[in-house]
Amino acid sequence: MEIFIDTANIDEIKQANNWGIIDGVTTNPSLVAKEKDKGKDFKAIVKEICEIVNGDVSAEVIATSYDEMVEEARVLSKVHKNVVVKIPLIPDGLKTVKTLAKEGIRANVTLCFSANQALLAAKAGAYIISPFVGRLDDIGHDGSEMVEEIREIYDNYDFKTKILFASVRHADHVKQAALLGADIATVPFKIIEQLYKHPLTDAGLKQFLDDWAKLGQKI
């Protein structure tokens, strides 16, 4: 399973990339708006991210009508070869995805909250579908069940659309993504850090080093 980082923060992207465990990046308008440098051109941010991480980088359109989404998607796709254009799961969005697929522009269909929506996105030719698991969990539903259903539907019909487990809220979501056969999980920086953490790892390492120190040797 690929692990993407879910952020527009350049420092976080650099740090996670240095650890060597991220395969790509997802951004969204809210994540971009959260960053300090509000004046910085969005396309410049996307280009900078693409130059740091050698993998898919999702950048979202702001328009909601077919003509404008197609236009924005064409602009974003020209920023770098690794850009995947994020398109919202609305009727005009899926029409846009179909047009983009014919042009060879890869789309990540975002804001997916049901298996039926994911089926339509795959039929439209989406490169990635992004089921927002955490936001469903937030309102008392089982977001992981949606991913399980999408996996089964895509496998039934051999759809090549990648399933990206999105809206990750905690480290256990990452495990669920892997167990359910998601192709990608996009993970906030704080949760990537938590993936490494285990108290027994820290305690065990301390014990090993303390015991070794008693030998007074170097390797």
Residues serving a catalytic function are 86
Q: Residue 198: which of 175, 181, 214, 219 has the closest Cα? A: 175
* Burial (CB count within 10 angstroms: exposed 0-12, middle 13-18, buried 19+), residue 148: middle
Q: How far is the CB of 125 from ligand E4P (least distance, A)?
A: 19
Rounded to an integer, what distance in angstroms lies between the CA atom of residue 182 and that of residue 128? 11
Short-list 5, 27, 32, CA closest to 16: 5
Residues 80, 81, 82, CA angle at the centre, nearest 5°?
90
Taking the C-alpha atoms of residue 201 and residue 88, their distance in angstroms, rounded to an integer, is 41
Range in contact with ligand E4P (rule: CB under 6 A) among 64-72, 76-84, 119-127, 128-136? 128-136
Give the span between the Cα atoms of 73 and 96, in whole angstroms: 9
When binding is defined by CB under 6 A, the residue of 135, 141, 151, 170 that contacts ligand E4P is 135
Shortest gap between Cβ of 94 and ligand E4P (angstroms)? 17
Residue in 9, 26, 96, 161 binding ligand E4P, rule: CB under 6 A? 26
Task: List the structure tokens of 108.
Answer: 């990540």
Contact residue for ligand E4P among 17, 28, 96, 144 (CB under 6 A):
28
Instruction: Specify the residue, 5 or 105, whose C-beta has the smaller distance to ligand E4P.
Output: 5
Measured from the CB atom, the residue of 165 and 207 that comes closer to ligand E4P is 165
* Under rule CB under 6 A, residue 130 binds ligand E4P: yes
For ligand E4P (CB under 6 A), the number of binding residues is 11
Residue 13 CA to residue 65 CA, distance in Å, equals: 31
Among 59, 76, 85, 166, binds ligand E4P (CB under 6 A): 166
Span from 8-16, 77-85, 129-137, 193-201 in contact with ligand E4P (CB under 6 A): 129-137
DSSP annotation of 166 reads: B
List 134, 151, 153, 170, residue binding ligand E4P (CB under 6 A): 134
Longest dimension (CA), the chain: 72
End-to-end CA distance of the chain: 36
The reply on whether position 176 binds ligand E4P by CB under 6 A is: no
Residue 7 as a binder of ligand E4P (CB under 6 A): the answer is no
Interacting residue ranges for ligand E4P, rule: CB under 6 A: 6, 26, 28, 110, 130, 132, 134-135, 166-167, 186
